[in-house]
Amino acid sequence: MLYRIFPIFVGMSEYKERMSKSNITDLKTVRLSEDADSVVLLDQTQLPEKEVYLSLSNAEDIWDAIYKLKVRGAPAIGVAAAYGIYVCSKQIGAAGFDDFYQEFKRIKDYLASSRPTAVNLVAALNRMEKVVLDNRQEDIPALVRLLHDESVAIREEDAAACRRIGENCLALLKPGMGLLTHCNAGHLAVSEYGTALAPVYLGQERGYNFRVFADETRPLLQGARLTAYELQRSGVDVTLICDNMASSVMQKGWVQAVIVGCDRVAMNGDVANKIGTSGVAILARHYGIPFYVLGPTSTIDKQCPDGKSIVIEERAPEEVSEMWYAHRMAPRDVKIFNPAFDVTPHELITAIITEKGVAYPPFTDSLSD
Ligand code: MRU
C-alpha cells in the first residue's frame, strides 16, 4: 500500500453521535497535511458508513484517488490536483529551471488525464503551471513556495465563492420550499457549503425549513451516499428518492425548484453535470419548475462554445452491473453504456448562479459579462 490509511471503525452509537453533529464543515474534504508533505482526503467511496482519511504524497496515488472518486465533485478535484502537484513538486530533485519544469509538466499532464469532464481539474493545474512559467527567474525552493501559495489560494477562492453562490440563490427561494437536487454538489464536492447545497445550508441557518429531495444518482449513488449523508448530518429535512421517482414527487407538487451543480459550463449556457441531470431538467420544464444550475465562475469554460464540444467521461461497465450490489445484477457480457455526465441544453435552464450573480438567458450575453 503506497498511501497511509487511518481507518475509523464506526459502531452504531458512534455513527449516531456523528450524525447528530450539526456542523458539516467539521469534515475536511481535502486539505494539506500539517507538514504540507501530503494531500489529506476524506475517502468518499467509504461514506456514509466510515469516515476514513487518506494521506497521499505521490502522483500515482493522487491520480488514482481522483479517478476512483475518493475525491470528487468538480471544485474539489481542482483543489486536490493543485495541492497534489504542489506536494509532488517538493519532491522534484532538479538542478535548474528546465529540469524542474520538464518534470512538473509531466506530472501536470498525468494528473490532468485522471478525469476529462470537469473543467476545474485542468483549470487548477493550468494556474499552477502559470506560476512556474511566470517565475522562471526564481530558484527552485522559491518556486515551490509560490506553488504552495497558489494551491492555498485556489482552495480559499473556492470556499469564498461557495458562500456567495449560496446567498445569490437563496434570494430566489422562499421559506418552506421543496427543493430537488441530483448527485452531490455540497460540502463534500467543494469547500465549505458546496455549490448547489449552499443555499440549503444558509437557509437552514436562517430558519427557511426547506424540504430537500435527493436523487440517489445511479450508478455511483452520490445522492444516496453523500448528499443524503451530509444533509442529514446537518439536520436538514432530506428525503432520498430513486432517480426514476423525480417525476412522481414533482407531479405531487412537492418540488418548487431544482438546484444542481455543474462540471463544465459552455459559453452558450449548455451545462455538463452528472448523468441524469438533463432528464431532471426536462421533467422540471414539463412541470413548470425553475431549474437552477449553481457553480463558481471557474467552472465556466471560455474556450468551450457549446455542449457538443464537451468530452463526456465514460466509465467501467462494472459500475452499472455489480458495484454496490451484493451480487451481479446484469447478465454476463451484456453490453453496457456508462457515461458519467450529460449535457443539459441551455433552453432548459432557468438561471446559472455563480459567485458573481444570477445569469439569465440569453446566456451568450449574460455569461460573457
Ligand atoms: O462524478 P462526480 O461525483 O465527480 O460528479 C459530480 C457532479 O456531477 C457535481 O454535480 C459537480 O461536480 C458539481 S460539484 C460542486
Concatenated DSSP letters of 322-344:
TTTSSS--S-TT-----BSEEEE
Q: How far apart are CA 29 and CA 187, in angstroms?
A: 8
pLDDT class for 191, splitting at 50, 70, 90?
confident
Mean pLDDT value of segment 8-13? 52
**Atom 8 of ligand 1: nearest residue by CA position:** 274
Of 111, 135, 161, the position where a domain reaches its end is: 161
213 & 323 share domain: yes
| Residue bearing cell 452528472 | 274
Ligand 1 center from residue 276 Cα (angstroms): 12
- Single out the residue of 231, 229, 298, 286 nearest to residue 255, CA to CA: 286
209 & 321 share domain: yes
Could you tell me if the CB of 183 is within 6 A of ligand 1? yes
Q: Is residue 115 part of a domain?
A: yes
What residues form the annotated binding site for substrate?
A: 72-74, 115, 222, 273-274
Ligand 1 center from residue 86 Cα (angstroms): 23
Q: Is residue 282 part of a domain?
A: yes
CATH number at residue 129: 1.20.120.420
Per-residue pLDDT, 283: 98
- pLDDT tens profile 52-84: 999 999 999 999 999 999 999 999 999 999 999
272 & 204 share domain: yes
121 & 192 share domain: no
pLDDT class for 27, splitting at 50, 70, 90?
confident
Number of structural domains (the chain) is 2
What domain range includes position 40? 25-161
Q: How far apart are CA 261 and CA 223, in angstroms?
A: 12
Which of 66, 184, 218 has the most ligand 1 atoms within 8 A of CB, as the residue to mutate?
184
Closest-lying ligand 1 atom to the alpha carbon of residue 186: 15
Q: Is a pLDDT exceeding 50 seen at residue 5?
A: no
Query: What residues contact 255, with CB distance under 8 A and at least 6 apart?
Result: 178, 179, 180, 213, 249, 284, 287, 289
Q: How far apart are CA 65 and CA 319, in angstroms?
A: 16
C-beta of residue 65 within 8 angstroms of C-beta of residue 54: yes
Could you tell me if the CB of 278 is within 6 A of ligand 1? no
Q: Is a pLDDT exceeding 70 seen at residue 9?
A: no
Closest-lying ligand 1 atom to the alpha carbon of residue 196: 15
pLDDT class for 101, splitting at 50, 70, 90?
very high
CB atoms near residue 258 (< 10 Å): 27
186 & 57 share domain: no
What residues form the annotated binding site?
A: 72-74, 115, 222, 273-274
Could you tell me if the CB of 74 is within 6 A of ligand 1? yes
Could you tell me if the CB of 261 is within 6 A of ligand 1? yes
Per-residue pLDDT, 21: 53
Of 161, 184, 212, the position where a domain reaches its end is: 161
272 & 305 share domain: yes
C-beta of residue 162 within 8 angstroms of C-beta of residue 192: yes
190 & 332 share domain: yes
Q: Is residue 15 part of a domain?
A: no
What's the sign of the alpha-carbon dihedral 291, 296, 299, 300? positive
Q: How far apart are CA 341 and CA 348, in angstroms?
A: 16
Ligand 1 center from residue 262 Cα (angstroms): 7
Q: Is residue 274 part of a domain?
A: yes
C-beta of residue 217 within 8 angstroms of C-beta of residue 243: yes
Q: Is residue 42 part of a domain?
A: yes
**Catalytic site residue 263?**
yes
Could you tell me if the CB of 222 is within 6 A of ligand 1? yes
232 & 278 share domain: yes
Torsion of CA 54, 55, 61, 64, to 10 degrees: 30
Q: Is residue 1 part of a domain?
A: no
Closest-lying ligand 1 atom to the alpha carbon of residue 74: 12
| Residue bearing cell 449560496 | 166
Query: What residues contact 148, with CB distance under 8 A and at least 6 apart?
Result: 36, 86
Q: What does the chain come to in residues? A: 369
- pLDDT tens profile 136-160: 999 999 999 999 999 999 999 999 9
Which of 181, 183, 264, 352 has the most ligand 1 atoms within 8 A of CB, as the residue to mutate?
183
CATH number at residue 228: 3.40.50.10470
Q: Which one-letter DSSP state was computed for residue 227?
A: I
Q: Is residue 58 part of a domain?
A: yes
In three-state secondary structure terms, 282 is helix
Q: Is a pLDDT exceeding 50 seen at residue 280?
A: yes
Q: Is a pLDDT exceeding 50 seen at residue 6?
A: no
225 & 304 share domain: yes
What's the sign of the alpha-carbon dihedral 365, 366, 367, 369? positive
Per-residue pLDDT, 26: 76
Mean of per-residue pLDDT scores for the chain: 93
Instruction: Please give the backbone phi and psi of residue 93, each rounded to the nearest 5 degrees, phi first.
Output: -95, 65
Could you tell me if the CB of 215 is within 6 A of ligand 1? no
Per-residue pLDDT, 162: 93
Could you tell me if the CB of 66 is within 6 A of ligand 1? no
Closest-lying ligand 1 atom to the alpha carbon of residue 273: 8
Percent residues over pLDDT 90 in the chain: 90
150 & 198 share domain: no
Of 114, 135, 161, the position where a domain reaches its end is: 161
Could you tell me if the CB of 265 is within 6 A of ligand 1? no
pLDDT class for 12, splitting at 50, 70, 90?
low
Q: Which of 43, 61, 158, 263 is catalytic?
A: 263
154 & 177 share domain: no
Q: Is residue 17 part of a domain?
A: no
Q: Is a pLDDT exceeding 50 seen at residue 315?
A: yes
- pLDDT tens profile 113-135: 999 999 999 999 999 999 999 99
pLDDT class for 94, splitting at 50, 70, 90?
confident
Could you tell me if the CB of 276 is within 6 A of ligand 1? no
Ligand 1 center from residue 72 Cα (angstroms): 6
Q: How far apart are CA 183 and CA 199, in angstroms?
A: 16
**Atom 6 of ligand 1: nearest residue by CA position:** 73
**Atom 15 of ligand 1: nearest residue by CA position:** 185
74 & 195 share domain: no
